[in-house]
Amino acid sequence: MSGNSLFSLVLFIAVLYQDCSGNETIKKLVKSLLEDYNTIVRPVHNMSTVTNVDMQLFISQVINMDERKQTLQVNTWLTLRWNDEYLQWDEAAYPGIRDIKLPSDLMWLPDVSLYDNAYEDYRNIMKGQIAVVYPNGDIMWAAPVILTSKCQIDVTYFPFDRQQCRMKFGPWQYEGTEVIMSGGAGNTSVFKSDGEWEMEYLSSKANIEYYPDAPGIPYTDVTYTIYLRRRPIYYVFNLITPCGLFSLVTILSFLIPAESGEKITLGITVLLSLTVFLLLVAETTPPCSTIPLIGQYYAATMVMVTLSLGMSVTVLNLHYCGSERAPVPQKVRKLVFGHLEKILRVRSKYSTKCPPLNRYTTEAGICVVPRMLKELDCSWLKACALHSHCLRNKHMTNSHHSQAKNSRNDKQTNSNHDDHLLFHLLYEFRKIAQHCENRNKRETATNEWKRLAVVIDRLFMVFYVIGTICTILIIVCQIG
């Protein structure tokens, strides 16, 4: 066997012997420490000595923030340090042992509880863990713990909100004269975001409080305040963006012609869609008296859509009332057609000038009787008839003179009959002329009301756009 191999073997045996002897030493140390140890008695030789428990909290991750139940579930790393006077040893007597790991169930533990606990029961979070014991009696208990605490959530600015959740730790039975809790500054270095929440800050504060079930007795605690900021991108994409699109779709209802019959249908469809999304918002936020920011936006949008429905009804009423009402009043015509129509740049098919009419028909096929028919006089018509009769008699031949003379009485009778017929024709023509004139007046009044409806519809659209922009600006100012 070579020299190197022999040296390696000797070194291995020495290390193995040292480990075995080290384990035996630890066994003896543990036996000597726990032989007469009592986990019930507070580990101090003098009862007036106060046990100082120093606590440090690390937030690893936000598991769940339940807005409706107003609870916060987080993954935490807890570290507690205190001194146990019964777990001390002389390092010279046990060389090489810098510390020992003992189950927490074998030693005295401060009854630290989470006062804001929202779990099913108040479980002892310190049981069943491993604690490190040092020669001077210092104990470090550290373990990962999932905690569920109450959190008073303020949803006023949801989903652009920031929350402050309090976690209060302290002994439940040990008084301030026995156990004093203190806590170091919070640490956010191990925090990992879940995609919805970002932790901005973690503060701690030690308190001394008095409770009604033990008047006059002080109790100490450490209160950690977690400052969280919500990432709103999820809610912006799934709730706010659809609401904005609904507002834009409502603007299109003002551009739909009144005769299409779809203005009211579109408005009601948008209103029902907003109601469905508002129910989703209500399921997310807690049932409290505070209306969240997104709820205010939805409510304002629903009010604007409802007003747009009322505006559409008004426009439809103006559009279809022309044939039943008097013509548009002169003042309204002057204001709307003279000013608003130009300001709003409305170009309606009802406001275009009609082409010149011919003697008998318009472009729409409406009969127009010449004005001369209205102004005809019966006496003038009779004179024309007699004149025509004389001309016919002047050109008669001599051969028929005898026949004309014999039939003079018959012709006189026929002439009277023609005069009567022409009088009735004139009367009918005048009736037709009056009917056509009344119809033209009604058509003109109807077109004026339709033209008025188009201008008012455009004016309502401007009001709706201004109201929508003001609503968005108010919401944005509240966010800022």
Residues 268 and 317 in one domain: yes
Q: Supply the pLDDT for residue 322.
A: 59
Give the single-character DSSP code of 121.
Answer: S
**Banded pLDDT at 11 (limits 50, 70, 90):** very low
Number of domains in the chain: 2
Please compute the mean of the pLDDT values over residues 143-172 and round it to a whole number.
Answer: 90
Supply 254's token pair.
Answer: 């003002």
Does the pLDDT of residue 85 top 50, yes or no? yes
Last residue of a domain, one of 215, 231, 247: 231
> pLDDT, tens digit, for every residue of 233-251?
988 898 889 988 998 899 8
Residues 225 and 272 in one domain: no
Q: Which amino acid is at 10?
A: V
**Banded pLDDT at 359 (limits 50, 70, 90):** very low
Answer whether residue 366 is part of any domain.
Answer: yes
Parent domain of 59: 33-231
Please compute the mean of the pLDDT values over residues 73-85 and round it to a whole number.
Answer: 93
Residues 227 and 240 in one domain: no
3-state helix, strand, coil in the chain (%, to 5): 45, 20, 30
Residues 270 and 241 in one domain: yes
Distances (CA, A) of 309 to 244, 247, 270: 17, 13, 10
Answer whether residue 402 is part of any domain.
Answer: no
CA distance 321 to 1: 120
Residue labelled with tokens 């009778």: 413
Q: Are 251 and 301 in contact (CB under 8 A)?
A: no
Answer whether residue 213 is part of any domain.
Answer: yes
Cα-Cα end-to-end distance for the chain: 82
Q: Supply the pLDDT for residue 179.
A: 94
Phi, psi of 149 (to 5 degrees): -125, 160
Residue labelled with tokens 């995609």: 195
Answer whether residue 112 is part of any domain.
Answer: yes
Give the single-character DSSP code of 105.
Answer: G
Q: Are 281 and 239 in contact (CB under 8 A)?
A: yes
Q: Helix 263-284 to helix 241-255 angle, to the nearest 10 degrees? A: 170
Distances (CA, A) of 119 to 115, 122, 124, 146, 349: 11, 7, 12, 10, 70
**Banded pLDDT at 457 (limits 50, 70, 90):** confident
Please compute the mean of the pLDDT values over residues 214-230 and round it to a whole number.
Answer: 92
Answer whether residue 165 is part of any domain.
Answer: yes
Last residue of a domain, one of 180, 196, 231: 231
> pLDDT, tens digit, for every residue of 88-122?
998 888 888 889 999 999 999 999 999 988 887 77
Distances (CA, A) of 143 to 75, 129, 221, 224, 441: 11, 7, 20, 18, 92
> pLDDT, tens digit, for every residue of 363-406?
333 444 444 444 444 444 444 444 444 444 444 444 444 454 44
Instruction: Please state which of the ranges 12-16, 32-36, 457-461 shows the lowest mean pLDDT.
Output: 12-16
**pLDDT, averaged across the chain:** 78
Q: Supply the pLDDT for residue 380.
A: 45
Residues 259 and 196 in one domain: no
Residues 154 and 252 in one domain: no
Answer whether residue 22 is part of any domain.
Answer: no
Does the pLDDT of residue 254 top 90, yes or no? no
Instruction: Please state which of the ranges 77-91, 280-294, 320-334, 454-468 shows the lowest mean pLDDT.
Output: 320-334
Please compute the mean of the pLDDT values over residues 11-33 and round it to a whole number.
Answer: 61
Phi, psi of 215 (to 5 degrees): -65, 135
> b/e per residue, 27-45, with b = 16+ CB within 10 A?
eebeeebeeeeeeeebbbe
Q: Supply the pLDDT for residue 9.
A: 37
Please compute the mean of the pLDDT values over residues 181-185 and round it to a whole number.
Answer: 82
Residues 460 and 448 in one domain: yes
Supply 322's token pair.
Answer: 């022309």
Residues 85 and 73 in one domain: yes
What is the CATH classification number for the domain harbouring 222?
2.70.170.10
Please compute the mean of the pLDDT values over residues 152-177 and round it to a whole number.
Answer: 90
Give the single-character DSSP code of 361.
Answer: B
Residues 144 and 279 in one domain: no
The count of residues in the chain is 480
Answer whether residue 92 is part of any domain.
Answer: yes
Q: Supply the pLDDT for residue 287.
A: 75
Residues 237 and 104 in one domain: no
Instruction: Please state which of the ranges 38-42, 268-272, 320-324 shows the lowest mean pLDDT.
Output: 320-324
Answer whether residue 93 is part of any domain.
Answer: yes
Q: Are 305 and 250 in contact (CB under 8 A)?
A: yes
Residues 375 and 265 in one domain: yes
Question: What percentage of the chain reaches a pLDDT higher than 70?
Answer: 77
Last residue of a domain, one of 231, 261, 283: 231
Q: Supply the pLDDT for residue 75.
A: 93
**Banded pLDDT at 14 (limits 50, 70, 90):** very low
Please compute the mean of the pLDDT values over residues 149-172 and round it to a whole number.
Answer: 90
Please compute the mean of the pLDDT values over residues 271-282 and round it to a whole number.
Answer: 87
**Banded pLDDT at 22 (limits 50, 70, 90):** low
Residues 203 and 241 in one domain: no
Supply 168's token pair.
Answer: 């209060």
